[in-house]
Amino acid sequence: MNRRFALLIGLGALLAGRTASAQEVTIGYQGLPSKSSGESNTGIQVADGVLLHAGVGVEAGYDTNVFYAPSNTVGSSIFRFMPYAEITNATRTGPVSKELTFDARAGLQYRHYGNSEVSNAGFADSWNPNAGLSLNLGGAQFGLGVADVFARIEDAPYANPTNSNTNGVPSGAPSIQRDNNQASIEGRWSPGGGRLTGVLRFTNMVNIYDNNGMGTYSYANAMTNTLMLDVAWKWLPKTAIFLNVSQSYVDYFNQTAAANNSIANSYPLYVTAGLRGLLTEKTSAVLTVGYVNAFYSTGASTTGFLGSTYLDLAFTARLTQLSRAVVGFRHDFLNAVITNFAYEETAYASYVQQIAGRLGLDLSGRYAYLSYQGDAGDPTQEGRVDNLFQIGATLDYFLRNWAYLGVGYSFLDNRSNKPNDEYLKQQVFARLGVTY
């Protein structure tokens, strides 16, 4: 299912604009804002009904643990520079109902560590581009949508006592480079008065780890194809019960390398049902329960009552017109790279507050329990259990509706039954930018 807690690098808005859902909330440190928290009315009119948004932001701060090490940590100053551009036929106040809507966006994140030890090890700089395109055709009864999103991240490798030098810098492990492209096409059908809606969607995701060698993940390069059918019946205008069936196929490109690392192809199946939409004028929910089976071709697979159960409970409350709170819990499994999979229990919360249309506060946190199952390529990783705590906080003040400055804080704490995999990482930032 959706990995809603991913680092979105500004792409969330692109997809959320296509089929916005109240429950899709980004947890953790929030990227630079692309819009004022109030009525922004930004964008350059480049043609009739076409707006160009563009911006650039910089962040400077400190990272306490560049290499996610359990001890002997290496801290460094950190600098990030992020330009972006977006072209859309949405209006300045947001998407509007049209027979044709489109949104194309591209951005880049440049990151630099100032610590000379990090520089000398070759991990000082990284370039992380991202791009996305979405296109929607059709009206109220029939609709067709296509979308493609690409993102790349490059980050410093993990360090632990077995692979790092006396200064805590990993020796021999290249940086982690991950490229991900996700394309999707969907058809929407809503006959009659729109009480019954159906969505048939095909998604193709290609996941590539670039580097080879120790501490890299190229053996896990894979393609995932997913076919999803969602049927919803609205018994109220903004509230529906639904049935969702999703079948995926995860195919590793290098079967030999995958087998050597004890991971295998799989055919995850989800059959879920529940409720989506408003409970009251100010409260909405996604309540989902269902059956799940990972169907791994070899090795361990999801079993038992808990292993076959999917549960997603998310509540959103608009406390005031300028504030929103989200709490949620999810029980799922996660296709992993160190074993076939991990059972995942996640609890999260988010609070967003706007003040006078100028100030935007975002607080969020998550706890994730990950229990890795089955054989591992590295036998020392078998039976690994991670407890990941994540907190993000940002506060941005818009001097104008196109210029802002702010501060941010990120907290990551992984507590594991494998001591070498534990880490505590904190980042603080001051940030400023323009976006129009």
Report the site for other proteins in 299-338 (rule: CB under 8 A).
Answer: 318, 321, 336-338
Cα distances (angstroms) measured from residue 354 to each of 31, 57, 126, 178, 397: 17, 20, 33, 34, 10
Size of the residue set binding other proteins (CB under 8 A): 84
48 is a contact residue toward other proteins (CB under 8 A): no
10 is a contact residue toward other proteins (CB under 8 A): no
Report DSSP state, residue 220: G
41 is a contact residue toward other proteins (CB under 8 A): no
Single-letter residue type at 28:
G
Say how far apart CA 373 and CA 138 lie, in whole Å.
Answer: 45
182 is a contact residue toward other proteins (CB under 8 A): yes
Work out how close the CB of 125 gets to other proteins at its nearest, in angstroms, rounded to a whole number.
17
211 is a contact residue toward other proteins (CB under 8 A): no
CB closer to other proteins out of 49 and 237: 237
Report residue 429 as tokens. 């930032």
294 is a contact residue toward other proteins (CB under 8 A): no
Say how far apart CA 165 and CA 214 lie, in whole Å.
Answer: 15
Cβ-defined contacts of 22-26 (< 8 Å, 24+)? 22/284, 22/286, 22/316, 23/276, 23/284, 23/285, 23/286, 23/314, 23/316, 23/326, 23/328, 25/316, 25/326, 25/348, 25/350, 25/364, 26/364
144 is a contact residue toward other proteins (CB under 8 A): no
Say how far apart CA 339 and CA 341 lie, in whole Å.
Answer: 5
281 is a contact residue toward other proteins (CB under 8 A): yes
Work out how close the CB of 189 gets to other proteins at its nearest, in angstroms, rounded to a whole number.
12
The residue within the footprint of other proteins, chosen from 217, 310, 341, 429 (CB under 8 A), is 217
The region of 51-59, 75-83, 119-127, 277-285 touching other proteins under the rule CB under 8 A is 277-285
Work out how close the CB of 373 gets to other proteins at its nearest, in angstroms, rounded to a whole number.
13
Asked if residue 204 lies in contact with residue 184, where contact means CB atoms within 8 angstroms, the answer is yes
Work out how close the CB of 2 gets to other proteins at its nearest, in angstroms, rounded to a whole number.
5
Tell me which residue of 351, 7, 293 sits closest to 152, measured CA to CA.
Answer: 7
Contacts to other proteins from residues 337-366, by CB under 8 A: 337-338
282 is a contact residue toward other proteins (CB under 8 A): yes
Q: How many degrees, rounded to 5, is the angle at CA 6 between CA 364 and CA 386?
A: 80
The H or E element spanning position 409 is strand 403-416
The residue within the footprint of other proteins, chosen from 41, 45, 378, 417 (CB under 8 A), is 378
The SS3 of residue 386 is: strand
Work out how close the CB of 58 gets to other proteins at its nearest, in angstroms, rounded to a whole number.
21
The residue within the footprint of other proteins, chosen from 215, 299, 307, 357 (CB under 8 A), is 215
CB closer to other proteins out of 35 and 402: 35
Buried b (16+ CB within 10 A) or exposed e, 2-22: eebbeebbbbbbbbbbbbebb
Buried b (16+ CB within 10 A) or exposed e, 145-165: bebbbbbbbbbbbbbbeebbe
The residue within the footprint of other proteins, chosen from 240, 264, 391, 393 (CB under 8 A), is 240
140 is a contact residue toward other proteins (CB under 8 A): no
The residue within the footprint of other proteins, chosen from 192, 193, 213, 304 (CB under 8 A), is 213
Q: How many degrees, rounded to 5, is the angle at CA 359 between CA 402 and CA 10?
A: 60
293 is a contact residue toward other proteins (CB under 8 A): no
The region of 231-239, 296-304, 348-356, 401-409 touching other proteins under the rule CB under 8 A is 231-239
The residue within the footprint of other proteins, chosen from 278, 300, 313, 361 (CB under 8 A), is 278
Contacts to other proteins from residues 56-95, by CB under 8 A: 68, 94
The residue within the footprint of other proteins, chosen from 89, 119, 180, 387 (CB under 8 A), is 180
